[in-house]
């Protein structure tokens, strides 16, 4: 009984797939499937050390979904967000991935911490779910060349290039790199080092979630650097900036995109003034995002933050790919994504490279001035 | 070199303060109170709440106000410790030790995520921060707040040592540590003494929490986890259950981390520090100053 059931399902599925490619190419497959909503899965940290980021991303995704649904949805179906908490932790992330897969998501649009996103790749891969990763950007995510994985944030390599350019422009001669040993952070530091050649005097790893980094800072300052580049997240970043200055460091400090948060300044205190950051466009530095920021603020009662724009774009991109593919069939959505050329996003027109990353990373240099990050140099 | 020693001692005095509560509780009821690090977090947050309620504090008044907040926090965190013991541990007094251990882990999560509901997942920043210009002593640069914090830690530790070694209360604690049943036959109110032990241990952790909040500035609901682990390590290195040993263990761990970072680089620091923990557990499980006990219950 059970066997025949599965068999008939398989036959139906084959027929459906056949239909999609054949006569009813325009959305035929989707019409025959359930009329329920298209679920988009989103794993972001809602608890743990990076919990502050989660709402920025889920809110922005919800905003995009509401806008698309108001225009009639995709292929006549409504979009629905299925968010789950990955706590920026590998084990929690895998459990959350399995959960959203069971709930029947069609496309994954989440992923903030690279270390937590990496182990979810095979979970979504096995379930044939395309992944549009809005924020996580370690090179390791695309190193395996998985067909279903797309990054719409600049990669570690692109960020390292931007960092290298800016450090050279600043004329720094002795550069210290500091990272927190997570996949994301170490990736940037390791890729920045060759850009600097013998100007990189030390690469120091710290233990995240601590309060006292005096021992690490002692190591760094012994090498007498004139430029420190921290590639980890904002909680440690704020403490490190403060402790570097208290220990008498007078040179420039730069942080990576994981540290771009208003909290960085609060934690670091007045010492944060003049700190540089490598970052993809944020709502504040986007020239034409004023209306978007207003509608976000109106809807959620607070301003958008880091990665709000990428999460918003991930939803729009998923909707675009599904409607181009004419179905939610994984293979078709993936080839639709690969075929996208010039889709307008906050970061500019989109075209994926063969390894499914942005053809232009779009990293800029921000500087902390007057209580927030502002654009310093677009590096273009 | 002196800078390394100074950094190690400064961090180590925090470890020692937190480790003392661990060690006292273990000494008396043989319970590894995994929720102890979270009492440190509770202390940091209760200090934060008081300071925020006070509003702005003028720069000249910073230190006296902080000391007052410190005392207030010690009382409130101490009471939290008493409640924790009453709710989570006392009902299991006769139960197997494994049940107590699991309850402790559960209590730890309950406090952490309870605080997350109350205060939110975002890290908070202390409204008052200790900072001062650095000055040089024997080639190490240190600041006035660092000296004050170490001073407070030393006063608290010495006070605790006197309490345990010289007073009636301390004698009762030591008696229960040796044999709770006989102590109760001798007319000691065992439950009351255990409650007071939790009060003192938690108050010390709370003091460390406020000091960390005021010095480093950033607090969050998971801040107690790592320091709880470190405090446990410090207690084992020094001799868990032994109070001077635990203080020594905290300082030794701070120095190990400081020198480990210097010799081996930042990524090897924890490997080094926890490697030493394993070494101690295998070679000298009683720690630096712990006495060898022939019979363990």
**pLDDT tier at A284, thresholds 50, 70, 90:** confident
pLDDT of residue A372: 87
pLDDT at residue A33 is higher than 70: no
pLDDT at residue B120 is higher than 90: no
The mean-pLDDT minimum among A325-329, B85-89, B239-243 falls in: B239-243
Evaluate whether A128 touches A17 at the Cβ level (below 8 Å). no
The CA distance from B12 to the nearest CA of chain A, in Å, is 11
Measure the CA–CA gap between B29 and B190, rounded to whole angstroms: 10
How far CA A8 is from CA of A15, A28, A328, B194, in Å, comes to 10, 20, 21, 68
pLDDT at residue B140 is higher than 70: yes
Average pLDDT for chain A: 87
pLDDT at residue A1 is higher than 80: no
The partner residues of A343 in beta bridges, in order of sequence, read A350
Measure the CA–CA gap between A101 and A1, rounded to whole angstroms: 26
The separation between CA B132 and the C-alpha centre of its own chain, rounded to angstroms, equals: 25
- Name the packing angle between helices B144-166 and B243-264 (round to 10°): 150
In a domain, residue A353? The reply is no
Q: Which residue in B7, B222, B223 is closest to A218 by CB distance? A: B7
Evaluate whether B237 touches B229 at the Cβ level (below 8 Å). no
Question: Exposure string (b/e) for A182-209, b if CB count within 10 Å is 16 or more?
Answer: bbbbbbbbbbbbebbeebbbbbbbbbbb
The CA distance from B114 to the nearest CA of chain A, in Å, is 12
Burial label, B11 (beta-carbon count in 10 A; 0-12, 13-18, 19+): buried
The CA distance from B75 to the nearest CA of chain A, in Å, is 24
**pLDDT tier at B253, thresholds 50, 70, 90:** very high
pLDDT at residue B63 is higher than 90: no
Work out the average pLDDT over B98-125.
Answer: 90
Answer yes or no: do A131 and A161 share one domain: no
- Cβ <8 Å between A239 and B218: yes
How far CA A213 is from CA of A88, A122, A238, B11, in Å, comes to 22, 36, 11, 10
Q: Which residue in B131, B223, B262 is closest to A215 by CB distance? A: B262
The CA distance from B151 to the nearest CA of chain A, in Å, is 18
Pair of tokens at residue B177: 């540590």
- B37: chain A residues, CB-CB within 8 Å: none
The total number of residues shown for chain A amounts to 380
pLDDT at residue A16 is higher than 50: no
Structural domain range at position B57: 2-132+143-283
pLDDT at residue B56 is higher than 70: no
pLDDT at residue B78 is higher than 90: yes
The mean-pLDDT minimum among A185-189, B56-60, B75-79 falls in: B56-60
- B217: chain A residues, CB-CB within 8 Å: 238-239, 242, 267, 269
The CA distance from A244 to the nearest CA of chain B, in Å, is 12
pLDDT of residue A298: 93
In a domain, residue B252? The reply is yes
In a domain, residue A8? The reply is no
The separation between CA B202 and the C-alpha centre of its own chain, rounded to angstroms, equals: 8
pLDDT at residue A355 is higher than 70: yes
Q: A318 — phi, psi (to 5°)? A: -60, -45
- Cβ <8 Å between A218 and B125: no
Angle at A193 between CA A200 and CA A270, to 5 degrees: 70
In a domain, residue B296? The reply is no
In a domain, residue B157? The reply is yes
Q: Looking at the 3D structure of chain A, how many domains does it have?
A: 2
Q: Which residue in A181, A206, A218 is closest to B4 by CB distance? A: A218
pLDDT digits (tens, 9 = 90+) for B149-173: 999 999 999 999 999 999 999 999 9
How far CA A173 is from CA of A1, A165, B206, in Å, comes to 74, 13, 45
Work out the average pLDDT over B123-131.
Answer: 84
- Cβ <8 Å between A218 and B113: no
Measure the CA–CA gap between A335 and A346, rounded to whole angstroms: 22
Measure the CA–CA gap between A110 and A307, rounded to whole angstroms: 11
Answer yes or no: do A259 and A163 share one domain: yes
> β-strand A38-44 against A107-108: which pairing, if any?
parallel
Answer yes or no: do A299 and A150 share one domain: yes
Q: Which residue in B217, B225, B257 is closest to A242 by CB distance? A: B217
In a domain, residue B292? The reply is no
Answer yes or no: do A230 and A372 share one domain: yes
More confident call, A323 vs A31: A323
Rounded to a whole number of angstroms, the CA Rg of chain A reads 22
- Cβ <8 Å between B134 and A209: no
Global pTM? 0.82
pLDDT digits (tens, 9 = 90+) for A166-178: 999 999 999 999 9
pLDDT of residue A18: 43
In a domain, residue B288? The reply is no
pLDDT digits (tens, 9 = 90+) for A97-139: 999 999 999 999 999 999 999 999 999 999 999 999 999 988 8
For A184-213, give the DSSP string. Answer: HHHHHHHHHHHHHGGGEEEEEE--TT-S--
* Domain at A44, CATH number: 3.40.50.2300
Measure the CA–CA gap between B264 and A215, rounded to whole angstroms: 12
- Cβ <8 Å between A212 and B113: no
Q: In chain A, which residues touch B (CB < 8 A)?
A: 46-49, 51-52, 54, 181, 204-207, 209-212, 214-216, 218-219, 235, 238-239, 242, 246-248, 263, 266-267, 269
Answer yes or no: do A261 and A301 share one domain: no
- B131: chain A residues, CB-CB within 8 Å: 246, 269
Taking residue A349's Cβ as centre, other Cβ atoms within 10 Å add up to 12
pLDDT at residue A13 is higher than 90: no
Evaluate whether B123 touches A237 at the Cβ level (below 8 Å). no
- Name the packing angle between helices B190-216 and B144-166 (round to 10°): 170
Using DSSP's 3-state secondary structure scheme, residue B18 falls into helix
Pair of tokens at residue B118: 């109350």
Q: Which residue in A49, A206, A267 is closest to B222 by CB distance? A: A49
- Cβ <8 Å between B141 and A212: no
Q: Which residue in B10, B121, B257 is closest to A47 by CB distance? A: B121
- B4: chain A residues, CB-CB within 8 Å: 215, 218
**pLDDT tier at A377, thresholds 50, 70, 90:** confident
pLDDT at residue B40 is higher than 70: yes
Q: Which range has the top average pLDDT, A50-54, A86-90, A288-292?
A: A86-90
The residue of chain A nearest to residue B131, with distances taken between CA atoms, is A246
pLDDT at residue B263 is higher than 50: yes
pLDDT of residue A165: 93
Three-state SS string over A233-260 comes to CHHHHHHHHHHHHHCCCCCEEEECHHHC
Taking residue B102's Cβ as centre, other Cβ atoms within 10 Å add up to 14
pLDDT of residue B66: 87
> Tokens 């979504």 correspond to what residue?
A124
- Cβ <8 Å between B261 and A52: no
Using DSSP's 3-state secondary structure scheme, residue B173 falls into helix
Question: Exposure string (b/e) for B257-286, b if CB count within 10 Å is 16 or more?
Answer: bbbbbbeebbbebbebbeebbeebeeeeeb
Answer yes or no: do A148 and A33 share one domain: yes
pLDDT at residue A311 is higher than 90: yes
Structural domain range at position A178: 156-279+364-377
Evaluate whether B253 touches B12 at the Cβ level (below 8 Å). yes
Answer yes or no: do A84 and A209 share one domain: no
Evaluate whether A106 touches A36 at the Cβ level (below 8 Å). no
Measure the CA–CA gap between B268 and B104, rounded to whole angstroms: 30
The CA distance from A12 to the nearest CA of chain B, in Å, is 47
The CA distance from A269 to the nearest CA of chain B, in Å, is 9
Q: Looking at the 3D structure of chain B, how many domains does it have?
A: 1
Pairs across A and B, CB distance < 8 A: 93
Measure the CA–CA gap between B31 and B76, rounded to whole angstroms: 22
**pLDDT tier at B198, thresholds 50, 70, 90:** very high
Which element (helix H / strand E) includes B287? none
How far CA B173 is from CA of A56, B74, B168, in Å, comes to 51, 20, 9
- Cβ <8 Å between A219 and B266: yes
pLDDT of residue A29: 42
Answer yes or no: do A195 and A335 share one domain: no
More confident call, B64 vs A38: A38
Pair of tokens at residue B79: 């009471």
Answer yes or no: do A140 and A273 share one domain: no
Of A59, A278, A266, nearest in space to A169 by CA:
A278
Pair of tokens at residue A61: 């995704």
Using DSSP's 3-state secondary structure scheme, residue A376 falls into strand
- Cβ <8 Å between B265 and A204: yes
Taking residue B170's Cβ as centre, other Cβ atoms within 10 Å add up to 17
Dihedral (Cα; B240, B245, B247, B248), 10-degree rounding = -120
Evaluate whether A150 touches A335 at the Cβ level (below 8 Å). no
pLDDT of residue B296: 41
pLDDT at residue A48 is higher than 90: no
- A241: chain B residues, CB-CB within 8 Å: none
pLDDT at residue A251 is higher than 70: yes
In a domain, residue A108? The reply is yes
pLDDT at residue A288 is higher than 90: no
Q: Which residue in A46, A218, A238 is closest to B218 by CB distance? A: A238
The residue of chain B nearest to residue A216, with distances taken between CA atoms, is B266
The CA distance from B28 to the nearest CA of chain A, in Å, is 30
- A52: chain B residues, CB-CB within 8 Å: 121-123
pLDDT of residue B227: 92
pLDDT of residue A313: 93
Answer yes or no: do A231 and A369 share one domain: yes
Answer yes or no: do A104 and A206 share one domain: no
Evaluate whether B15 touches B253 at the Cβ level (below 8 Å). yes
The partner residues of A252 in beta bridges, in order of sequence, read A227
In a domain, residue A21? The reply is no
The percentage of chain B sitting over the pLDDT mark of 90, rounded to a whole number, equals 58
pLDDT of residue B171: 92
- Cβ <8 Å between B129 and A269: yes
The yes/no answer to whether this complex scores an ipTM above 0.95 is no
Measure the CA–CA gap between B34 and B236, rounded to whole angstroms: 14
- Cβ <8 Å between B222 and A48: yes
Of A132, A122, A77, nearest in space to A321 by CA:
A132
pLDDT at residue B179 is higher than 60: yes
- Name the packing angle between helices B269-283 and B223-238 (round to 10°): 40
Average pLDDT for chain B: 89
pLDDT of residue A58: 95
pLDDT of residue A30: 42
Return all residues near A313 (Cβ < 8 A) that are at least 6 apart. Answer: A64, A134, A152, A345, A346, A347
The percentage of chain A sitting over the pLDDT mark of 90, rounded to a whole number, equals 58
Of B100, B267, A152, nearest in space to A141 by CA:
A152
pLDDT at residue A56 is higher than 80: yes
Return all residues near A196 (Cβ < 8 A) that are at least 6 apart. Answer: A164, A167, A175
**pLDDT tier at B271, thresholds 50, 70, 90:** confident
Answer yes or no: do A163 and A254 share one domain: yes
* Domain at B274, CATH number: 1.10.3470
Return all residues near B2 (Cβ < 8 A) that are at least 6 apart. Answer: B137, B138, B139, B140
In a domain, residue A20? The reply is no
**pLDDT tier at A303, thresholds 50, 70, 90:** confident
pLDDT digits (tens, 9 = 90+) for A134-162: 999 888 888 889 999 999 988 888 899 99
- A205: chain B residues, CB-CB within 8 Å: 265-267
Angle at B231 between CA B296 and CA B135, to 5 degrees: 145
Q: B192 — phi, psi (to 5°)? A: -65, -40
Taking residue A156's Cβ as centre, other Cβ atoms within 10 Å add up to 29
- B40: chain A residues, CB-CB within 8 Å: none
């Amino acid at each position: 009984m059970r066997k025949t059931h599965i068999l008939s399902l398989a036959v139906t599925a084959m027929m459906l797939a056949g239909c999609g490619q054949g006569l009813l190419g325009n959305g035929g497959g989707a019409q025959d499937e359930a009329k329920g909503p298209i679920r988009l899965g989103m794993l972001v940290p809602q608890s743990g050390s990076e919990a502050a980021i989660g709402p920025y991303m889920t809110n922005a995704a919800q905003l995009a979904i509401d806008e698309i649904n108001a225009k009639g949805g995709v292929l006549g179906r409504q979009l629905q967000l299925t968010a789950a908490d990955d706590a920026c932790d590998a084990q929690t992330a895998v459990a959350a991935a399995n959960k959203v897969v069971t709930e029947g998501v069609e496309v994954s649009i989440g992923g903030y911490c690279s270390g937590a996103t990496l182990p979810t790749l095979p979970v979504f891969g096995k379930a044939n779910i395309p992944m549009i990763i809005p924020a996580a950007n370690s090179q390791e995510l695309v190193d395996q060349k998985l067909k279903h994985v797309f990054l719409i944030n600049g990669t570690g390599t692109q960020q390292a290039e931007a960092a290298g350019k800016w450090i050279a422009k600043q004329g720094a001669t002795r550069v210290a790199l500091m990272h927190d040993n997570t996949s994301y952070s170490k990736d940037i530091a390791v890729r920045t080092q060759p850009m600097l050649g013998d100007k990189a005097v030390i690469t120091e790893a710290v233990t995240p979630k601590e309060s006292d980094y005096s021992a690490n800072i002692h190591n760094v300052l012994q090498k007498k650097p004139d430029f420190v580049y921290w590639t980890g997240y904002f909680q440690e970043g704020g403490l490190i900036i403060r402790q570097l200055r208290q220990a008498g460091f007078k040179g420039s400090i730069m942080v990576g995109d994981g540290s771009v948060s208003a909290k960085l300044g609060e934690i670091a205190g007045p010492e944060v003034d003049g700190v540089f950051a490598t970052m993809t466009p944020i709502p504040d530095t986007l020239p034409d995002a004023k209306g978007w920021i207003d509608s976000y603020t109106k809807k959620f009662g607070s301003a958008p933050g880091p990665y709000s724009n990428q999460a918003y774009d991930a939803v729009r991109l998923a909707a675009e790919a599904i409607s181009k593919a004419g179905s939610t069939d994984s293979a078709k959505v993936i080839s639709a994504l690969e075929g996208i050329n010039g889709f307008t996003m906050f970061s500019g027109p989109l075209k994926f490279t063969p390894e499914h990353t942005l053809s232009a990373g779009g990293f800029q240099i921000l500087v902390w001035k007057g209580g927030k990050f502002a654009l310093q140099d677009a590096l273009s | 070199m002196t800078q390394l020693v100074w950094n190690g001692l400064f961090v180590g005095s925090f470890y020692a303060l937190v480790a003392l509560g661990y060690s006292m509780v273990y000494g008396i009821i043989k319970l590894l109170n995994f929720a102890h690090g979270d009492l440190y977090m509770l202390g940091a947050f209760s200090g934060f709440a008081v300071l925020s309620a006070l509003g702005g504090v003028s720069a000249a008044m910073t230190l006296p106000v902080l000391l007052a907040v410190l005392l207030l926090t010690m009382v409130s965190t101490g009471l939290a410790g008493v409640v924790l013991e009453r709710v989570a541990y006392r009902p299991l007094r006769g139960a197997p030790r494994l049940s107590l251990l699991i309850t402790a882990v559960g209590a730890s999560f309950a406090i952490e995520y309870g605080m997350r509901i109350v205060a939110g997942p975002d890290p908070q920043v202390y409204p008052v921060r200790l900072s001062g210009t650095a000055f040089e002593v024997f080639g190490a640069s240190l600041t006035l707040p660092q000296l004050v914090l170490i001073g407070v830690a030393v006063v608290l530790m010495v006070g605790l040592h006197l309490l345990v070694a010289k007073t009636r209360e301390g004698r009762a604690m030591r008696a229960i540590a040796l044999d709770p049943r006989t102590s109760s036959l001798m007319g000691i109110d065992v439950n009351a003494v255990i409650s007071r032990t939790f009060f003192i241990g938690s108050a010390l952790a709370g003091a460390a929490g406020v000091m960390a909040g005021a010095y480093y500035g950033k607090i969050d609901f998971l801040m107690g986890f790592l320091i709880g682990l470190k405090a446990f390590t410090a207690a084992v290195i020094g001799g868990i259950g032994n109070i001077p040993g635990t203080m020594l263990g905290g300082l030794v761990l701070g120095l190990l981390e400081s020198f480990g970072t210097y010799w081996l680089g930042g990524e090897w620091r924890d490997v080094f520090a926890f490697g030493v923990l394993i070494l101690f557990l295998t070679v000298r499980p009683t720690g630096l100053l712990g006495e060898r006990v022939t019979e363990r219950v």
